[in-house]
Amino acid sequence: MSAIVISAVGWFLLQQTRDGLLRHRVDVVVGEVEAEVAAARDRLSAASGAEDNASVQRADLIDPIILEGESRGYGVVLGGPADSETRLSDGGAYRTTGLAVSSVPRRLQAHFEDANRSTAWTYTEIVRTLPDGSTVSEPGVVVGSQVQLPADGQTYTIYFLFPLTEEEETLDLVTRALLTAAGLLLVLVAGITWLVTRQVVTPVRMARRVAERLAAGRLQERLRVTGEDDLARLAHSFNQMASNLQRQIRQLEELSWVQRRFVSDVSHELRTPLTTVRMAGDVLHDARRDFDPATARAAELLQAELDRFETLLVDLLEISRFDAGAALLDVEDINLLDIAHRVVDAARPLADQRGVLVVVEQPAQPVRAQVDPRRVERILRNLVTNAIDHAFPDDLDRPIVVRMAADEHAAAVTVRDRGVGLAPGESAMVFNRFWRSDPARARSSGGTGLGLAISLEDAHLHGGWLQAWGRPGDGAQFRLTLPRIAGTALRHSPLPLAPVDEADADAGPDDDTPAPNPGREPSRGVPS
């Protein structure tokens, strides 16, 4: 932008300088011509009584002017009578030596076709013939004026040709000066711009680097504050913000640690009294046939709630291991179909009680992967029992379907039910701890509300994905995707997230995009 502005200003200055030089030169040469013509007229008036020959008068008229022009650097050409057909001839004797009469433009000659015309001028290209026969041309100004000879009464035109060599040199000098000044000004502007940019951008870049380090967890990073300008105040405010964030994050970390420690301690401490209560409950449950009906029913309820309480403690202990980063994998290369059949066989009594059919589709090829069998079986068990819980009872026409597939890099299992489904936005919330889509809905399996949260952590521990799709009244589908080889990164899933029978369904996240972890970052640094 500075170059454009400087170029425009330079061009304007050059035009103004050029116009000024030319105007001044024209004024000067027109004045000289009028002075020369007046002197010639005076000579003719003084000699008119003694000389009758027109040729002699022409010589007396033009010779002093030509000599004056040669000494002062301009050329002179004498034209013929104004009313003659040939007013200007290359063979004319009355002109400066070597000067071509073609230097006089036709338009100026046309101006002097008649007598008694005023002095006129125009720009031209002066052509000269050098002694060696070569020709040169240069810009110039030609001025014409008319003079009447007393001898013949004819009016002749005298053309004065003034070169613009000095003006051209002056204009070249001004151009070089402007170019030099423009170059220096551009360098100055560039230097100032670099300095200002350095003063402004460098602190911003430092703030960006510090912000990146803060985002990476290095909460002790701060900006160096120098001066008292706006950037210094910004750096000071940034440091205050970083200090407040560090303090709040530490408070949250301490609170989270206290919560995890509390859950872990409570879970461990409750196991001892639970064991004692379990022993007493088992004795009462075994002897319930000897009790009256009300006491027998109470013994059965006590046994069921003890089972549920024990499951809750186990889940809380497992969650505390994930929170502490102490969960480990015991990897084996197994066929996921065997795990699926084992889970479905174990859940069949619950499915029969609900009047629901659970079907495992036979894959086209074995679905093998390097996984922890115990954790994968727990994931599938949670998904299947959750599907049975939320399926419509006594609906054998719409079974729960377990599908699986594998490719070169990944293995996937989907559990599709035709139950109550999920409302928009619940596909991510379903993995929150203790979250239930319908708190008033009874659970047939007596779940703790931690099953899907633990399943999500198990999937992340494998480096896999656990995602959900659902539509109200049309059921839900959960998809587990695991890498075939432990430790490799997932890029896609062999099965779609949306059910294949829902071609027009909104699948939510892209099939190859992992679902967000609603609770926290996965354990052991596995990408969520």
Q: What angle do CA 317, 322, 325 make, to 5 degrees?
A: 125
Q: 436: helix, coil or strand? A: coil
pLDDT tens by residue, 37-54 = 888 888 877 765 444 677
Q: Where are the domains of the chain?
A: 2-173, 230-323, 329-525
pLDDT in tens, 205-252: 888 888 888 888 787 888 877 777 777 888 888 888 888 888 888 888
pLDDT given for residue 185 in this prediction: 92
Q: Which runs of consecutive H residues, i.e. helices, occur in 356-425?
A: 373-390
Q: What is the pLDDT of residue 522?
A: 36
Q: At what angle do helices 373-390 and 451-461 cross, to 10 degrees?
A: 150
Pick from 316, 317, 358, 349: nearest CA to 448: 316
User: If we measure between CA atoms, which residue out of 223, 225, 220 comes closest to residue 207?
Assistant: 223
Strand duo 75-81 + 332-335: pairing: unpaired
The verdict on domain 329-525 having CATH code 3.90.180.10 is no
Which of the four CATH numbers 2.30.30.110, 1.20.120.10, 3.30.450.20, 3.40.50.970 does domain 2-173 have?
3.30.450.20
pLDDT of 141: 92
pLDDT at 510: 43
* CB-CB contact of 404 with 482 (8 Å): no
Amino acid occupying residue 185:
L
Task: Please tell me whether residue 498 adopts helix, strand or coil conformation.
Answer: coil
pLDDT for the residue numbered 526? 31
Domain 230-323 falls in which CATH fold? Helix Hairpins (1.10.287)
Q: Are 220 and 246 in contact (CB under 8 A)?
A: yes
Written as six digits, the tokens of 284 are 């009462």
pTM of the model: 0.48
Compute the mean pLDDT over every residue in the chain, rounded to the nearest whole number: 81
> What is the rounded distance in angstroms from the CA atom of residue 209 to the CA atom of residue 222?
10
Predicted pLDDT of residue 280: 84
Provide CB contacts within 8 A for 273, sequence distance 6+.
Answer: none
Q: Which residues pair with 477 in a beta bridge?
A: 416, 469
**pLDDT 10s digits, 294-340:** 888 888 888 888 877 777 777 777 777 776 666 778 889 999 999 99
Predicted local distance difference test score (pLDDT) of residue 504: 41
User: Which residues of the chain carry a pLDDT beneath 70?
Assistant: 47-52, 82-93, 259-260, 263-264, 267-268, 323-326, 436-448, 501-528
Mark residue 446 as left, alpha or beta (left: phi above 0; alpha: psi -120 to 50; beta: remaining): left
CA distances from 137 to 181, 194, 370, 504 (A): 32, 48, 94, 85
Q: Which residues contact 387 (CB under 8 A, 6 or more apart)?
A: 358, 400, 415, 416, 417, 419, 476, 478
